[in-house]
Amino acid sequence: METIFKHRSIRRYKPDAIPENILDRILEAATRASTTGNMQLYSIVVSTDPKVKQALSPCHFNQPMVTEAPVVMTFCADIHRFDLWCEQRGAEPGYDNFLWFVNGAIDALLASQNAVLEAETHGLGICYLGTTTYTADKIVEILRLPKGVIPVTTVVMGYPTDCPPLTDRLPVEAVVHRDTYHDYTPEAIDRLWAERENSDETKRLLAENGLPNLARIFTERRYRKEDNVQFSRTYLDLLRKQGFMKQ
Amino acid sequence: METIFKHRSIRRYKPDAIPENILDRILEAATRASTTGNMQLYSIVVSTDPKVKQALSPCHFNQPMVTEAPVVMTFCADIHRFDLWCEQRGAEPGYDNFLWFVNGAIDALLASQNAVLEAETHGLGICYLGTTTYTADKIVEILRLPKGVIPVTTVVMGYPTDCPPLTDRLPVEAVVHRDTYHDYTPEAIDRLWAERENSDETKRLLAENGLPNLARIFTERRYRKEDNVQFSRTYLDLLRKQGFMKQ
């Protein structure tokens, strides 16, 4: 499928809106993904109002694409709608626990990838925002998510201003294991990362950051232990508050 | 994208193997999905050995498709490979916490949906197995997953024996919210579930189960509170054991 192999994250967008019929088709594509027991335990909040996008912007560290892209989609695990239905039918739901956060997150993410690929088929560009889980507590307030709903990921979407090169990936063999997991020798680790470590982009990053290797850019600049621990606590607290951690 | 709109879960498979060049293309498609910081925090265990599939079968409640389908793919969140690389470069990784389970699960699930759609483009059928999170502790043993790796979902894949009808879905408006979340009135809940509740399939299920409505089939037969609580505990314990819950 050509669309899959042409995917790149787009960070600069034209101001053009996405036509409603195309947006509808993208959202319909999202709903065709598999979901746990066909329970559809997710919701998609589609924000196009500049005021809402502006409010969301700090949650995504003020990356300009959040306000520049015409559409911001927040994909959430959602047991709330299913619970309401159960209660209305005199059935006692038992989904306010961790398993159903994971199930809802699975549903939300398969739906998001369908939406992304359908969008790209129509010439749109997208970017996933990993910041969603860092600031999910604030997103809950801005999007007025009730108990039983928690953000998992965000996708910005719109017409790209340019076409950046494909992102490098580790060789396919790095992520694939046949039959059972094969652990990595030190030589394998060197070999799998060699191309990325020797790229011009990496050389530029090392000079810019004054660090001796790419791994330390990840651990000391991009994703630092103290931030990871803090964001983990915040998200776990939010899971409790939103009703996904009853034992 | 036609493939997205033609998706249905396939539960009966021909014994035919998937040609290696097609399998390679499916796995390459998986690696083209977006991943957190391009860190590729996932692994795919591709099991084709009948002995391994047989061992996995009870983990998926002995559903025949696990042994019948030629390929079983277990998608795992994986911080282990990245940690090895960091340690080998003298960088101190700080990813043994809940945030990075979520990030790894996101990576694994976007990759899985790419693999699924690429497979379907080649005329293959697939089925996601939600049982993966229930029995992840046993899957860890069978697939020999080291610390830092945890199963998130499983996809069986092969040539379908038949083409079942499309699965019904709630109307698109059920899962989509414009700008912010709109809560559901009791009337909306009735309206959104009306088609599904009145289908011939539902009538058949109610007669078969001796229950007055579809919601109670979910809460009393398919996904019961006591099981949900038990599976939540097992998966959280496994997250701790696999090194994703350090505070």
pLDDT digits (tens, 9 = 90+) for B162-177: 899 999 999 999 999 9
Contact residues on chain B for A90, CB-CB shorter than 8 A = 213, 215-216
Mutation target among B10, B22, B36, B109 for the A interface, most CBs of A within 10 A? B109
- What CATH architecture is A2-163+225-241? 3-Layer(aba) Sandwich (3.40)
β-strand pairing of A176-178 with B42-47: parallel
* Run means of pLDDT, 10 residues per run, chain A, 247 residues: 93 97 98 97 98 98 98 98 98 98 98 98 98 98 98 98 93 98 98 96 96 98 97 98 94
Mark yes or no for CB contact B214/A144 under 8 Å.
no
Mark yes or no for CB contact A89/B118 under 8 Å.
no
Helix (H) or strand (E) holding A64: none
Please state, rounded to an integer, the average pLDDT across all residues of chain A: 97
Tokens representing B130? 């939600």
Radius of gyration of chain A (CA): 20
- What CATH architecture is B2-162+225-241? 3-Layer(aba) Sandwich (3.40)
What whole-number distance in Å separates Cα of residue B66 and Cα of residue B129? 9
Q: Give me the pLDDT at residue B1, please.
A: 84
Kindly write down the DSSP assignment for every residue of B168-237, as one continuous string.
P---GGGTEEESS--PPPHHHHHHHHHHHHTSHHHHHHHHHHT-SSHHHHIIIIIS-HHHHHHHHHHHHH
Question: pLDDT below 50 — which residues of chain B?
Answer: none
Query: 């990838």: which residue's tokens?
Result: A113
Q: How many Cα atoms sit within 13 Å of A173 on the Cβ side?
A: 8
Contact residues on chain A for B209, CB-CB shorter than 8 A = none
ipTM above 0.85, yes or no: yes
β-strand pairing of A149-158 with A176-178: unpaired
What whole-number distance in Å separates Cα of residue A52 and Cα of residue A99? 31
Contact residues on chain B for A47, CB-CB shorter than 8 A = 178-180
Full-model pTM: 0.98
Q: Where are the domains of chain A?
A: 2-163+225-241, 172-222
Alpha-helical runs (H) found in B32-143 = 50-56, 65-68, 80-88, 98-121, 136-142
Closest residue in B to A153 (Cα) is: B106
Residue in B40, B225, B232 closest to A170 by CB? B40
Chain A closest-CA separation from residue B194 CA (Å): 11
